[in-house]
Amino acid sequence: MSDWWKGAVIYQIYPRSFKDSSNNGVGDLPGITEKLEYVQSLGVDAIWISPFFKSPMHDFGYDISDYRAVDPLFGDLDDFKSLLDKAHSLGLKVIIDQVLSHCSIEHDWFQQSRQNKSNAKADWFVWADPSENGGPPNNWLSFFGGSAWTYDDARGQYYLHNFLSNQPDLNFHNPDVQQAQLDNLKFWLDLGVDGFRLDVANFYFHDKALRDNPVFPEGERSTVGVTDSNPYSRQAHIYSITQAENIEFIKKMRALMDLYPGTTTMGEINGEHSLEIMAEYTQGDDRMHMAYTFDLLGEDCTKNAIESIAEEFNQTLKDGWACWALCNHDVKRVVSRWGGDNPSADFALAASAMLLSLKGSVCMYQGEELGLPEGDVAYEDIQDPYGKPFWPEYKGRDGCRTPMVWDSTADFAGFSTSKPWLPVDKLQTQMAVDLQSNHDNSTLNKTRRLIKWRNQQPALRQGEFTLLDLPGVLAWLRTSEEQQVLVVINLSSETHELTLPFAHVAKMGLEEFSYTLNENQLQLPPYQAFFADVE
């Protein structure tokens, strides 16, 4: 099926923390290959692997120094080919990260570009003279704090970096840069990958005039930034990102993808008014296949907030397609973020049920199927360059990147035989794969059954979405030609007595949740879900 991605469940793997086969404390590609049968057992359609390319690792792989090479920390190109072959033999698609907007300061392109203003790569990056007062050219800010500009002594100019100063932004106004990145995509397509997760897909172009960004209006909702203490979230990024020229490059990427039937693109969109950007970037059949949304990666899990997000997507995206997530390698795990300090054991499954019943595709992050809470990482163990500057209000991203827990009886929970790059969390070890696999009613086994059941329901995979108003719970209809499914999710700590607005309600063959149904009267306990055929 060429549209396999539409309604797919995609399992995100953060390679540093998944499985270490070389026992150096860092996960690698052979480690992923070793655990692919486990991933297949979850019932997912595809894996998304975060960056494994050659990199000095200032931002753990999102600063690429060679787009076509595997970093020796993770293995080599043959290891990736073996992973790809095994995944395909198991029926799993493989999506890999592509970080096109910026590269490493150690990339040969940048090393050439910084030499002078007349070399062959002189305008491959965004260079600018100092302002009249000798400072940065404008007020643009880095996502990681401070100015988005760094002065380079060798060139005598500032260069732009939306992230770390080790991650200079490429100048996509230069057609040669565009073609070079398209060629890099083609390299991996020729190897047989099934798609790309496009990192910050709306960051490729900048305003040529380098105009100052205005202050972000108070009271408006933005998905930019992860903490109010970061000044980046207080600026409206009108000129530094999301430029009109971006669409034309997206179209060039789609034209390339169309030469490889069955491949897909999943674009990460980060910016003010992200939903409107997603709709624009996924409309029609000549742009991105789907957009990865941050809207459920925030702190607000109230009924009103989730309903507002779901309905806004439904009304705005039209023929576009979203990919939803509750967890990833950049945010606190949802069990801790939404479930509180002592989350119910049922909360993780109820949250997954909600995620898997929305209209769109789904990304699930490694360990989410186990119901893992956020890992505990002491200040002295922090590795994330984003963590220490904003401590203690924001502790960085290491807590969601702690090693996967495979074996509760083994050293370092079976992740490695050497001390891992981040500490293994003791609470997470008590929720390891070996323990949960042996219990039929564990979060892991319930999640397996939930995913496999969901994938057999046409309405849940690709059906239309209609929001319903039921007190205290989330409720909606998913409708396809074959069926109409009522979804009711209780993410609260209270039991709700509900009168369902349907005369005929038939529960479906899913036994993972607790509820009482008497005709159209539903009693739904805390952190439970209900699915039914309705007329």
* Catalytic residue IDs: 199, 268
Which residues, 6 or more positions from 502, have their beta carbon under 8 angstroms from its beta carbon? 486, 520, 534, 535
At 298, list the tokens. 């925030």
Which residues, 6 or more positions from 234, have their beta carbon under 8 angstroms from its beta carbon? 215, 216
Cα–Cα dist 198/101, whole Å: 9
Residues 460/485, Cβ–Cβ less than 8 Å = yes
Cα–Cα dist 396/384, whole Å: 6
User: What's the distance, CA 70 to chain centroid?
Assistant: 21
The residue assigned the tokens 């490493």 is 104
Helix 77-89 × helix 175-191 angle, to 10°: 60
Residues 441/427, Cβ–Cβ less than 8 Å = no
Residues 162/148, Cβ–Cβ less than 8 Å = yes
Q: Is 315 helix (H, G, I), strand (E, B) or coil?
A: helix
Burial category of 495 from C-beta neighbours within 10 Å (exposed 0-12, middle 13-18, buried 19 and up): middle
Residue 343's alpha-carbon distances to 157, 333, 335, 349, 437, in angstroms, are 51, 12, 7, 12, 21
Cα–Cα dist 24/304, whole Å: 46
Q: Residue 490 gets which letter from DSSP?
A: E
Tally the residues of the chain: 535
At 20, list the tokens. 């270490």
Q: Is 77 helix (H, G, I), strand (E, B) or coil?
A: helix
Within the chain, how many helices (H) and strands (E) appear?
A: 14, 21
